[in-house]
Amino acid sequence: MDRELVNFALRSFVMILAIIDPLGNIPVFITTTDSLTPAKRRAVAMKASLVAAVVLCVFAIGGTAILWAFRLTMPAIQIAGGVILMVIALQMLSGRQFRWRRETPDIPEETSSFITPLAVPMMAGPAAMSCVLILTTHSPNATHLIIILSSIILSCGIAYICFRAASFLMNYLGRNVIIILSCIMSLILAALAVQFILDGLRQAIPGLFSKAPTRR
C-alpha cells in the first residue's frame, strides 16, 4: 500500500478515535443506563454505537452538501453543539439522569437513553463531525473516503466494546461512585460545551477575542 495512504489511514483513525473517546464516555453510559437490565444495556450499547457510526458516515459522505443545502457554517454547528452539551451537563449536575425513568415513564426503556447523550452529541458530536468534514475535504479520491468510513466504523466498534465492559463495572461500583463519576463527567461536559461555543465564536467573529490595544 502507498505510504501516503497508510499515513492518512493512521491519522484518520487516531483522530476519529480520540474525538469519539470511548473510554471517556463510559461514565455517561453507566449513569444513563443505571436502571436497565444487562440485556437492555447491551442493546443500548449496540444501538448507540450504530447510530453514531451511521451519523458520522452520512456526514462523511454528504457533510459538505448538507452544510451547503441548509447554508450552515461550521461555527454554527460548533455553537449549536456546545449549547446542547451545556444543557446535558446541567441536567447531569441536577441528577436528571437518575430520575430519567420517573420523569418519562411512557418512553420505552430500549430507546430512551441511546440517542442523547450517548450517540449524539457525545460520540457523533460537533467535534467528530468537524473532524470528519476536515478529513473528507482533504481527501482527493474514493480510496481516502473508504479509509475515513472504515476509521469511523472501527472507532464506533471500539466504543461498543468499551460500553459492554462498562456493564461489568455496574455490578461492582456502588451508586455513590456512579454519582461521583456523573458529576465529574458533567463538569467535563460543561467545559467542552464552553470550548465548542468559544471556538465557534472565534471562527465566526475573528476579532472578538483579540486583545484590546493598550493605551500609552
- Report pLDDT for 191: 83
- Report pLDDT for 111: 47
Which regions of the chain are under pLDDT 70? 1, 92, 95-114, 138-140, 167, 169-171, 173-179, 181-182, 185, 210-216
- Report pLDDT for 210: 66
3-state per-residue secondary structure call for the chain? CCHHHHHHHHHHHHHHHHHHCCCCCHHHHHHHCCCCCHHHHHHHHHHHHHHHHHHHHHHHHHHHHHHHHCCCCHHHHHHHHHHHHHHHHHHHHCCHHHHHHHHCCCCCCCCCCCHHHHHHHHHCCHHHHHHHHHHHHCCCCHHHHHHHHHHHHHHHHHHHHHHHHHHHHHCCCCHHHHHHHHHHHHHHHHHHHHHHHHHHHHHHCCCCCCCCCCCC
Residue 210 lies in a domain: no
77: domain range?
Answer: 3-204
Residue 212 lies in a domain: no
- Report pLDDT for 103: 46
- Report pLDDT for 18: 82
Q: Looking at the 3D structure of the chain, how many domains does it have?
A: 1
- Report pLDDT for 51: 93
Residue 213 lies in a domain: no
Residue 55 lies in a domain: yes
Residue 42 lies in a domain: yes
Residue 147 lies in a domain: yes
